[in-house]
Structure 1
Amino acid sequence: MFQKVFLTVLLSGCLGVGLNVARADDGSSILVTTAAITQGSLPQVVTMYGSIATAAPAQQTLVAPLQAQVRDVYVRAGAVVAQGAPLLRFMPTPASELAYTQAESAAKLATALQQRTETLVMGHMATDQQLFQANKDAADARATLASLKAQGADGPHIMRAPFKAIVTSVNAAPGAVVAAGDALVGIAPPDKLELAAGVVPDQANAVNVGDAVVLTPIGQGPAINGKVSFRAAVVEASNGLVPVDIEVLGGQAMLGEMFRADVTVGQVSGYIVPHDAVLVNPAGQTYIVQDNKGAAKFVVVQVLNSTQDQDVVRGPVDINAPVIRSGNYQLNDGDKIRLSDDAGDSGK
């Protein structure tokens, strides 16, 4: 009997507390902070990622001028070299040396025949046509010899950097025999760099050559400026992205360094509200809560553009009513609100 009475009293006490809480909440207000709504625009930004490479139009490949054997390699990929710096040394192969020796002999013989023909013409023992042919043969022989000499067939030859450059590749090792035209060293100007990036296909058409870009290194370091120099019209099969090249306009960047690229592709206009003022209801609709003369008013909006701090929205917004940015997730439509002391420009 005692247990039943005790249980009844206990339940009555609990129910009484519950009713008291409900009555305490009835007619109460929720503390919020607000911000003013403005009309304006925010930049529309497409974000992509990539790594620094040498600009394709500025790349050069130094090739073997003739068949030769590489004796020494003085540089490695990634090095920065001054104009005129030695890159590698090579010697002509026996076949190249033979070609030079034969060209040298042919030039001497052609010159001697030229001089003899000139003498014969003066003695009326040869025709002008024969002299013309002798002159041509001598000129051709000297040109062939000069070409082989310029290629390095006359002895050891050092390949030098034609300008201050970054060495992008070295394709020869000491002892290697290379043919004429084989790629030996790749170089590029150190101030002609670009970000090789990629954008998802549904955003690619918004990106155009000339668009301004802010490049932020992955990790630490200051942001640098750039601009879009190329945007492909096809999807790269290897990664499903559309290739985009971004010219680096200033600042320090290293080959292979990773960057985030924020490309400004336009402006989006509408109502500007704080990012934390935009909520999503159970139906998946985005909405804001406005201060309607001390009561919460739910307004369904469409988010047109979003940044870290602000959103551009469209909808039946009252620009004269502040938007609630904190405490909004606790509210129901029509709830009474009260402003905190740090409401700022809440429109009190």
Structure 2
Amino acid sequence: MNRFRFLSRLALLAPGLLLAACGGGSGGGDNASGGADQTVAVTTTMPRQQVFHDTVEAWGSVDPLHPVTINLAHAGQVTALAVAPGQAVKRGTTLLTVTPDPATRSAFVQAQNAARTAAGDLKRIEQLAADRLATQSQLAGARKALADARAALEAQRALGGANTREEVKAPLDGVVTTLQVQVGERFAANAPLLAFTPTNALLARLGVQPQDAAKLRVGLPVQLREVFSEGHDMPAHLSMVGKAIDPTSRLLPVLAEVPAASATPIAGTALSAVIQTADYRAWAVPRAAVLHDEKGDYLFVVEHGKARRVAVTLRHPEGEVVGVQGALEASSQVIVQGVYELNDGDAVHMAPAEGRAK
């Protein structure tokens, strides 16, 4: 009877024991796989020290540095125009042709006659003085009269009276900006005939944000670029930093002289510029390695098989390689791929070759 009860109870308990055994085996497997899931596959790189530049952005346009207004010291009349506004010319190119004013021509002829007469008077006085019929004072007076007459003649010649036709030529390579006379038009002495811009004398007129004024000084390097073209950068240097904000643009005006070798844009071209204000050293790391949250910029390094968070300051954010400053060393293993899956202290392992290539 007792044996029958024991066997009956054993039959009732067997399914429970079997389930318990199965359950225990399953639980052990889950714990093992959970530990493996907490290890993150990463790739790393070594940081390196590099010199970076603080920069200030600016905008503006190209203007002539030394515009030239061409005029003549005498009055006259325009007989021909050889150029048009905006035309590029070489040094010595004829710009326009003029004839002197009749009054200028008349003054030259009068001075020419006066010099001829003074020369004849001197010759006559010299003959009289040789025969002791003229005094030395008369001889000196005749010589002075001839000298004065010749000086007056040269003055009239310089004023253009000697020419019946005069060609006005370009003093340098450049561009004719404006024409201020027309064919047949009479002009007064020293009246502007045309405006001329030398090619190799351009000035970049720029504006920067007022808060950047403290960073700027004369002589800083500038990289200029045409806004609406694919042109190359043009090196320049700051030649002036303004002390008052422009009331129209609300920007601080600065000037940069464009070197002759880089003077490719035409006057009026819109420009953007980058002014290099200071040099500093920072750690160069891939952009993908740097993260940001409410505590600031940071990255992860590998220490003893775990990810350790390192706070950094992002000083140079442009480009695929950025500049950061923080507690890094040249031997630090900065995590690049896998950073978005990490928390401080997570276990990590190096990704296989296929993962690193990807």
What's the secondary structure of 1:153's corresponding residue?
coil
Structure 1 residues 327 and 96: alpha-carbon distance in aligned structure 2, compared to 1, 3 A threshold: farther
Verify: 1:36 aligned to 2:46, yes or no: yes
Say whether the 8 Å CA contact 1:301–1:314 is kept in structure 2. yes
Amino acid in the other structure paired with 2:53 = P
2:165 aligned residue = 156
Q: Note the alpha carbon deviations across 1:105-147, whole angstroms, 9 max, x for none.
A: 4334433433343344334343323332332232222332333
Q: Distance in 1 between matches of 2:43 and 2:177?
A: 57
Cα offset for 1:255?
Answer: 1.3
Verify: 1:87 aligned to 2:95, yes or no: yes
Q: Distance in 1 between matches of 2:93 and 2:189?
A: 22
1:132 aligned residue = 140
1:74 aligned residue = 82
Say whether the 8 Å CA contact 2:306–2:348 is kept in structure 1. yes
Structure 1 residues 138 and 229: alpha-carbon distance in aligned structure 2, compared to 1, 3 A threshold: farther
Q: Structure 2 matches for 1:42-191, cutoff 5 A?
A: 42-56=52-66, 59-154=67-162, 155-191=164-200
Match of 1:278 among 290, 295, 298: 290
Q: Distance in 2 between matches of 1:66 and 1:229?
A: 40
Q: Note the alpha carbon deviations across 1:202-231, whole angstroms, 9 max, x for none.
A: 445545555444444435545255231613
Say whether the 8 Å CA contact 1:167–1:185 is kept in structure 2. yes
What's the secondary structure of 2:147's corresponding residue?
helix
Verify: 1:268 aligned to 2:277, yes or no: no
- RMSD value, Cα: 3.7
Q: Distance in 1 between matches of 2:330 and 2:159?
A: 77
What's the secondary structure of 2:108's corresponding residue?
helix
Say whether the 8 Å CA contact 2:235–2:262 is kept in structure 1. no
What's the secondary structure of 1:269's corresponding residue?
strand
Match of 1:289 among 290, 295, 300: 300
Cα offset for 1:159?
Answer: 0.7
Structure 1 residues 40 and 31: alpha-carbon distance in aligned structure 2, compared to 1, 3 A threshold: same
Verify: 1:253 aligned to 2:286, yes or no: no
Query: Which blocks of at least 5 consecutive residues in structure 2 are unaligned?
Result: 1-29
Amino acid in the other structure paired with 1:40 = Q
**Greater shift in the superposed pair: 160-169 or 64-73:** 160-169
Say whether the 8 Å CA contact 1:201–1:235 is kept in structure 2. no
Amino acid in the other structure paired with 1:131 = L
1:7 aligned residue = none
Q: Distance in 2 between matches of 1:76 and 1:299?
A: 66
Structure 1 residues 133 and 190: alpha-carbon distance in aligned structure 2, compared to 1, 3 A threshold: same
Q: Distance in 1 between matches of 2:85 and 2:350?
A: 64
TM-score, length of structure 1 as denominator length: 0.74
Q: Distance in 2 between matches of 1:205 and 1:183?
A: 42
What's the secondary structure of 1:301's corresponding residue?
strand
**Greater shift in the superposed pair: 39-48 or 154-163:** 39-48
Structure 1 residues 208 and 170: alpha-carbon distance in aligned structure 2, compared to 1, 3 A threshold: farther
TM-score, length of structure 2 as denominator length: 0.72
Structure 1 residues 129 and 287: alpha-carbon distance in aligned structure 2, compared to 1, 3 A threshold: farther
Q: Distance in 2 between matches of 1:247 and 1:230?
A: 10
Q: Structure 2 matches for 1:22-33, cutoff 5 A?
A: 28-29=38-39, 32-33=42-43
* Structure with higher helix content: 2
Percent of residue pairs identical: 26
Structure 1 residues 79 and 273: alpha-carbon distance in aligned structure 2, compared to 1, 3 A threshold: same
**What number of residue pairs does the alignment pair up?**
321
Cα offset for 1:166?
Answer: 3.5
